[in-house]
């Protein structure tokens, strides 16, 4: 697709997309740094920054290829970066679909089987990326028809599977919504939950369209002497860089770092919504170690007229009840998400501190 770049047409188009992806890279990095200072750890912003940087490198190497059309190494680099970058967007949407599943069906979404299924999918995606890169490089160094056909089959298999990965969030979200549930939806992040669902469905549809178009063009594979319409430069830039820019732009404009945020350390049902579910508490090493005050109590030295006296004061500690633990987890989640606090007057005595946002519902 796209053919060999030329100076008259490809350089202006690549320069245009370079400006777009540089601006989005700066946007997502700025959002990540601001959130990091507020202890709001949202690594997906870094993933989108990495994707934008990969697209910047791909466009830069394509410009260099147009300037040096006989450079073998530049042609290989341009092809590899063009194929590899979009996988980061597939991973982002795949993990967001997991969060939607956990919101609709917490028990199922947090089950270890589901968790390790997603981990296995990520491992397969990485393996396929290595396969595609290896096959793409080998195509440049072999003239054997049998070897070239074998490498083409590898590319088509990997492309088809990755297109399914791009499509997977759509049935996951649809099944999560249609399946009957016994509990309320555990909404997370900021803004309407339906907006999160629509955003994920829209971006997944866009990525599926691009991946499906590339796979279809690969299966058709007309002769280089008679290229089809889908091999044109317009289709190449529109179904690759154009659709991908729409995704990173949509996530940046809608502030997906707030919408898809869950509290740091979430590991069980109820955590995404900022609460706890009975039976979901998991002991850590710190919980198994007694504090010094719990073992020895408080020691007070009382100075008297005669010999010194030592008074042992035993400090009793009681475990937090479920309501208190849930309230503390909610405060922690809101502090991470909104970062600021205000004091609000209550009808009871004193004041209570509340983390808030104008868009919180």
Residue 352 has pLDDT above 70, yes or no: no
How is residue 355 annotated by DSSP?
E
Tokens 């509290």 label which residue? 263
Residue 316 has pLDDT above 60, yes or no: no
Which comes out higher in pLDDT, residue 217 or 345?
A: 217
CA gap 309, 27 in Å, rounded: 66
Mean pLDDT of 245-274: 81
For 35-64, how does the pLDDT look when each residue is reduced to its tens digit (9 = 90+)?
A: 888 888 888 999 999 999 999 999 999 999
How is residue 314 annotated by DSSP?
P
Which comes out higher in pLDDT, residue 332 or 24?
A: 24
Buried/exposed code over 270-303 (b: 16+ C-beta within 10 A; e: otherwise)? bbbbbbbbeeeeeeeeeeeeeeeeeeeeeeeeee
Residue 279 has pLDDT above 70, yes or no: no
pLDDT at 283: 41
Which comes out higher in pLDDT, residue 191 or 201?
A: 201
The domains of the chain, with CATH numbers, are 10-259 (1.20.1070.10)
Residue 334 has pLDDT above 80, yes or no: no
pTM for this entry: 0.74
pLDDT at 291: 46
Mean pLDDT of the chain: 78
Helices (H) and strands (E) counted in the chain, each on its own, are 14, 4
pLDDT at 272: 64
Residue pair 278/75 in contact by the 8 Å Cβ criterion: no
At 28, list the tokens.
């997502």
C-alpha torsion angle, residues 87, 253, 243, 33 (rounded to 10)? -30
Which of 29, 30, 24 lies closest to 56 in space, CA to CA?
Answer: 24
Sorting pLDDT into bands at 50, 70 and 90, what band is 250? very high
Q: Which residues contact 335 (CB under 8 A, 6 or more apart)?
A: 39, 341, 355
The number of CA neighbours under 13 Å toward the Cβ of 16 is: 10
């Amino acid at each position: 697709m796209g053919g060999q770049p030329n100076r008259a047409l490809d350089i202006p188009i690549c320069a245009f997309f370079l400006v777009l992806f540089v601006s989005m890279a700066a946007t997502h990095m700025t959002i990540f740094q601001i959130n990091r200072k507020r202890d709001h750890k949202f690594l997906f912003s870094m993933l989108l920054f990495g994707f934008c940087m990969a697209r910047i490198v791909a466009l830069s190497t394509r410009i260099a290829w147009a300037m040096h059309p006989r450079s073998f190494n530049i042609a290989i680099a341009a092809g590899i970066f063009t194929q590899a970058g979009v996988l980061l967007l597939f991973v982002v949407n795949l993990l967001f679909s997991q969060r939607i599943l956990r919101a609709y069906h917490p028990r199922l979404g947090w089950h270890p089987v589901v968790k390790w299924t997603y981990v296995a999918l990520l491992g397969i995606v990485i393996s396929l990326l290595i396969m595609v890169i290896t096959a793409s490089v080998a195509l440049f160094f072999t003239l054997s028809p049998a070897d070239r056909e074998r490498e083409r089959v590898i590319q088509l298999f990997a492309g088809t599977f990755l297109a399914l990965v791009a499509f997977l969030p759509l049935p996951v979200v649809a099944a999560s919504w249609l399946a009957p549930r016994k509990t309320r939806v555990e909404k997370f992040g900021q803004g309407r939950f339906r907006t999160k669902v629509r955003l994920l469905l829209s971006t997944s549809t866009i990525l599926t369209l691009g991946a499906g178009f590339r796979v279809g063009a690969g299966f058709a594979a007309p002769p280089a002497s008679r290229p089809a319409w889908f091999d044109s430069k317009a289709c190449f830039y529109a179904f690759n860089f154009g659709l991908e820019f729409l995704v990173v732009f949509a996530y940046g404009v809608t502030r997906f770092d707030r919408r898809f945020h869950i509290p740091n350390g979430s590991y069980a049902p109820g955590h995404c919504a900022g609460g706890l579910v009975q039976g979901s508490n998991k002991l850590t090493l710190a919980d198994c170690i007694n504090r010094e005050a719990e073992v020895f109590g408080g020691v007070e030295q009382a100075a008297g007229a005669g010999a010194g006296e030592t008074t042992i004061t035993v400090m009793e500690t009681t475990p937090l009840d479920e309501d208190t633990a849930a309230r503390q987890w909610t405060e922690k989640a809101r502090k991470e998400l909104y970062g600021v606090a205000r004091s609000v007057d209550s009808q009871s005595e004193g004041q209570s501190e509340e983390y808030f946002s104008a868009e919180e519902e």
